[in-house]
Amino acid sequence: MVELETGNEKKIQERMAEEELVKERIDEQGNKWKKVYFGGGEHFKNWLEQCRELGEVMVEEADSTGYKCFEMAGEKLYRIWMKVDPEKHDELFE
């Protein structure tokens, strides 16, 4: 659960809502990537290991400012992106 700092509740809620809108990206080569995870810590490590077994992944560090639990622990936040292969695209990416 994400703890909210007093006075920054609206700001962090807005950031979380904005993060929910981040779903896909296109890289410089025109490849499509889907976001499959946003978080950190041990959960991130487990997700990354499982995603690597399923296909090509890209990891992006996200700004943890305002996420009190991550700031206090000195942890980083990450997004895990999986490459979408148009020939193997299935309902998992819809």
Which residue ranges make up each domain of the chain?
Answer: 9-93
Give me the percent of the chain exceeding a pLDDT of 90: 53
| DSSP-assigned letter for residue 74 | T
Exposure of 63 in the CB half-sphere (CA atoms within 13 A): 7
CA–CA–CA angle 81, 65, 43 (5° rounding):
45
86 pLDDT above the threshold of 80: no
- The count of residues in the chain is 94
**Which pLDDT score is estimated for 1?**
46
Q: Is the distance from CB of 61 to CB of 78 less than 8 angstroms?
A: yes
C-alpha distances in angstroms, 28 versus 23, 39, 40?
17, 25, 26
In the chain, the percentage of residues whose pLDDT exceeds 70 is 81
